[in-house]
Structure 1
Amino acid sequence: MATDRVAISRRALLAGLGGIAALSAGHFSAFAGGAALLEESALDYPLFASARREADGSYGIAIIDDAGQELARVALPGRGHGIAVSPDGRRFMAFARRPGTFALLIDPFERTEPQVLTSIEGRHFYGHGCFSPDGRLVYAVENDYDAVRGVLGVYDVSGRQIRRIGEIETGGIGPHDILLAEGGKVLVVANGGIETHPSRPREKLNLDTMQPSVVFLDRERGDLLAQHSLSQNLHQLSLRHMALDGQGKVWVGGQFEGDKSLSPPLVAHMTRDSGPTLTEVPSALASGLQSYIGSVVVNASGDVIATSAPRGGQVLFWAAETGAFLGADQVVDGCGLAPLDASGFLISDGTGGLRYAEDPQSLPEILARPPGISWDNHMVTL
């Protein structure tokens, strides 16, 4: 664990110096004069990216290091949500929050402006996507809102212009998060089950008839390989965000749209061949989560899952092997999560805070709190 101690010391040193200038002044730019956002030397350190609202009310994507110090930022035309990262970590695509219609393909190491992708007529993005194993394609989760069906838009991002080359049906409505699994051969999609339409933004149109599911799709052919749903009494648990643990199990977090006096289980795990197993939270804690899980992330070792509950001000931890509840950290409006070191997590919150949680039993260490900043729901490792 010597590597972990060195990393933590570096974070503490940078935080104490109070700014990026101590180490990273040479990394920062903003495509000014044709310069790249980041120099190649930035790859020597852990890098993370997240959407956020700036102090002046504008929106953007910030790239930070493991001390919570900002290295670069990219402006967005509206509020962002999820970020898909290429397999080599050199490019990423940032998606608008539902029902947004834009996405930006960003290469921070090249002297090129971001490529802007706009959803086709009759569609909007659901805030998430993923790259193909070779980095040539992006699968973007979309709403075909007049046909009331979920699709994956398939985009070729290998050239100077992004090209839409096809689509795959998700086997449900309200698709949200997407993962690559089984060596990149399978796409896993969480169909949230909620019907929406951009003419009635943020309104949920079918709460009585929701049918959320997690589907496993053949990535190349688009065939439905498996579809898992919850029991009927949980049909209003919208399945939203996912992570893949070190054993290949898919973990999914839910957002309950039913009776607010209830405290249903909000986290489940499954495989292609086995249906959902629901986890259990101590009742005293469950009642305060407001039936809402924000992000789901696995640590670098693959043995601990972190799930944020921003409305309840908690981050919950789970043992990947057994599904056992390991504990919780109190983080007000904490939602963004990313793996840091072998066992820990970086945690962002809506008040601008960035914390490091070394493990489920440790108190999170505050690394930074940029004034006026509000981090959005998700954070990724580059």
Structure 2
Amino acid sequence: MRSTGIDRRQLLLGTGAGLAALAARGPTAFAGDMLALDAQDPLFAAARREADGTHSVVVTGLDGMTRARVPLPDRGHDVAVCPGTGRCLVFARRPGTFAVLFDPLGRSAPVTVTAVPGRHFYGHGAFSPDGRLVFATENDFETSRGVIGVYDLSGETPVRVGEYWSGGIGPHDILPLPDGKTLVVANGGIETHPDRDREKLNIATMRPNIALIDRPSGSILATIEAPAHLHRLSLRHMATGTAGKVWIGGQYEGPRDDAPPLIASLDIASGRLAMHDVPDDLAGRLANYVGSVTLSRDGEVVAASCPRAGKVLYFKAADGSFLAAQNRVDACGLAPLDQGAFLISDGQGGLSDSADPAGAPALLAATPGVAWDNHLVALGPA
């Protein structure tokens, strides 16, 4: 594998250029903290716990400095980014009932989206191509039914305009496919109820799957289940590329001394779900938990974080073969950088550059007292 060392000056000139037009407009209104935005500054968004114990969603640069901060009422999880407008929606961690819509450049005030009674969010969502609608994974907890809540964000006040079945129980991640018409949903298969906090109620009978949904109609196009012997592998986080594959990270709910494969790929055309192994000496040291999955900008490398084991794994996207592993304590958030590298966030306030996956991540910045949450997203041009 080629070296992925990065000239940071070129990264700043290249990756950040797409935001130049947005930054030039300047902030108009923002609830929270806003610092001056550099047009040459690549930006990233993530939820985090602050040093005083409060929670926020933060826009940051490679230097770890806060460019913008929006307070949250409780712990956040993932941030969905609208490809057309650049607006972001951060979701509460399960079983939270809030999401906050914000502009990372502060051109409008944040707006809170609230789940309807009988539903809670699972921490993820996806925008429609035009940015008018957002599709959120939710729990219909009285019937243990996964649903996709549909919200219209085009007006001053968000409106929930409907919902449809997710194709399973415990929908977690949701992403649009490149065709612009299909949503892919990772139904983790775990039954929960907010009255039981985060307790898992159906481990013995789990049936996780990946569902393909027609976005305009809500019709289930296909569901692909994990192999029967892996029915306790909760399919949770995903990444999509342009090569017709969806990459999935799992969290295993079986015996601790089992060492199942934790990474899968779904070939959209054939509907085939393939499992991808790591070397034997690594398989038993991953705590059976993948926290985040993403693809490099060139689509050649898949990165998967194992925060409980303090590792980041790398796979070849062409065939799923294992490439390398790096050690970083409590590393979970992943976002692509240029030249095949990744930005890694961790629960100790650190941001690291994967640099050469055969070596150790290079610490770029650390903010004492804060903890980055599970996911990190790169902010692109609008």
Q: TM-score, normalised by structure 2?
A: 0.91
The 8 Å contact of residues 4 and 341 in structure 2, kept in 1 or not, is answered as no
Post-superposition offset of 1:134:
0.9
The 8 Å contact of residues 182 and 215 in structure 2, kept in 1 or not, is answered as yes
Pairwise mapping of residues 94-105 of structure 1 onto structure 2 (< 5 A)? 94-105=90-101
Post-superposition offset of 1:283:
1.3
In structure 2, what is the Cα distance between the partners aligned to 1:301 and 1:339? 9
What is the identity, as a one-letter code, of the residue corresponding to 1:320?
A: A
Question: Per the alignment, do residues 368 and 167 of structure 1 end up closer, same or farther by CA in structure 2, a change over 3 Å counting?
Answer: same
Of 84-93 and 283-292, deviating more is: 84-93
- What is the match of residue 147 of structure 1? 143
In structure 2, what is the Cα distance between the partners aligned to 1:316 and 1:3? 17
Which of residues 78, 102, 112 in structure 2 aligns to 1:82?
78
Across the aligned residues of Structure 1 and Structure 2, the Cα RMSD in angstroms comes to: 2.4
Which of residues 274, 286, 290 in structure 2 aligns to 1:289?
286
Post-superposition offset of 1:133:
0.8
Q: How many percent identity over aligned positions?
A: 52
In structure 2, what is the Cα distance between the partners aligned to 1:72 and 1:191? 33
- What is the match of residue 14 of structure 1? none
SS of 1:183's equivalent? coil
**Does structure 1 residue 63 correspond to structure 2 residue 63?**
no
SS of 2:7's equivalent? helix
- What is the match of residue 171 of structure 1? 167
- What is the match of residue 30 of structure 2? 31
What is the identity, as a one-letter code, of the residue corresponding to 1:55?
A: A
Question: Per the alignment, do residues 59 and 338 of structure 1 end up closer, same or farther by CA in structure 2, a change over 3 Å counting?
Answer: same
Post-superposition offset of 1:158:
1.1
**Does structure 1 residue 344 correspond to structure 2 residue 304?**
no
In structure 2, what is the Cα distance between the partners aligned to 1:36 and 1:331? 29
- What is the match of residue 122 of structure 1? 118
Q: TM-score, normalised by structure 1?
A: 0.91
In structure 2, what is the Cα distance between the partners aligned to 1:271 and 1:121? 37
What is the identity, as a one-letter code, of the residue corresponding to 1:339?
A: P
Unaligned 5+ segments in structure 1 are: 12-23
- What is the match of residue 211 of structure 1? 207
SS of 2:375's equivalent? strand
Post-superposition offset of 1:166:
1.1
Pairwise mapping of residues 1-20 of structure 1 onto structure 2 (< 5 A)? 4-7=6-9
**Does structure 1 residue 112 correspond to structure 2 residue 108?**
yes
SS of 1:378's equivalent? coil
Question: Per the alignment, do residues 368 and 145 of structure 1 end up closer, same or farther by CA in structure 2, a change over 3 Å counting?
Answer: same
- What is the match of residue 321 of structure 2? 324
In structure 1, what is the Cα distance between the partners aligned to 2:147 and 2:124? 12
What is the identity, as a one-letter code, of the residue corresponding to 1:294?
A: G
Pairwise mapping of residues 198-277 of structure 1 onto structure 2 (< 5 A)? 198-272=194-268, 273-277=270-274
Bigger relative CO (Cα 8 Å, ≥ 6 apart) = 2
In structure 1, what is the Cα distance between the partners aligned to 2:125 and 2:226? 24
In structure 2, what is the Cα distance between the partners aligned to 1:147 and 1:263? 32
The 8 Å contact of residues 141 and 177 in structure 1, kept in 2 or not, is answered as yes
The 8 Å contact of residues 4 and 356 in structure 2, kept in 1 or not, is answered as no
Post-superposition offset of 1:275:
1.8
Question: Per the alignment, do residues 38 and 105 of structure 1 end up closer, same or farther by CA in structure 2, a change over 3 Å counting?
Answer: farther
The 8 Å contact of residues 30 and 74 in structure 1, kept in 2 or not, is answered as no
Q: Deviations over 1:169-219 (max 9, x none)?
A: 111010000010032110000000000000000000000000000011111
Post-superposition offset of 1:165:
0.9
In structure 2, what is the Cα distance between the partners aligned to 1:75 and 1:28? 17
In structure 2, what is the Cα distance between the partners aligned to 1:110 and 1:349? 26
In structure 2, what is the Cα distance between the partners aligned to 1:54 and 1:62? 10
Post-superposition offset of 1:44:
3.6
Of 85-94 and 142-151, deviating more is: 85-94
In structure 2, what is the Cα distance between the partners aligned to 1:64 and 1:30? 18
Of 267-276 and 169-178, deviating more is: 267-276
Unaligned 5+ segments in structure 2 are: 14-22
- What is the match of residue 186 of structure 2? 190
- What is the match of residue 160 of structure 1? 156
The 8 Å contact of residues 37 and 108 in structure 1, kept in 2 or not, is answered as no
The 8 Å contact of residues 30 and 36 in structure 1, kept in 2 or not, is answered as no
The 8 Å contact of residues 355 and 367 in structure 1, kept in 2 or not, is answered as yes
Question: Per the alignment, do residues 318 and 158 of structure 1 end up closer, same or farther by CA in structure 2, a change over 3 Å counting?
Answer: same
The 8 Å contact of residues 30 and 73 in structure 1, kept in 2 or not, is answered as no
Post-superposition offset of 1:30:
8.3
In structure 2, what is the Cα distance between the partners aligned to 1:223 and 1:170? 9
The 8 Å contact of residues 343 and 359 in structure 1, kept in 2 or not, is answered as no
Q: How many residues align?
A: 366
**Does structure 1 residue 367 correspond to structure 2 residue 369?**
no
In structure 1, what is the Cα distance between the partners aligned to 2:28 and 2:261? 45
**Does structure 1 residue 298 correspond to structure 2 residue 295?**
yes
**Does structure 1 residue 356 correspond to structure 2 residue 358?**
no
Question: Per the alignment, do residues 364 and 143 of structure 1 end up closer, same or farther by CA in structure 2, a change over 3 Å counting?
Answer: same
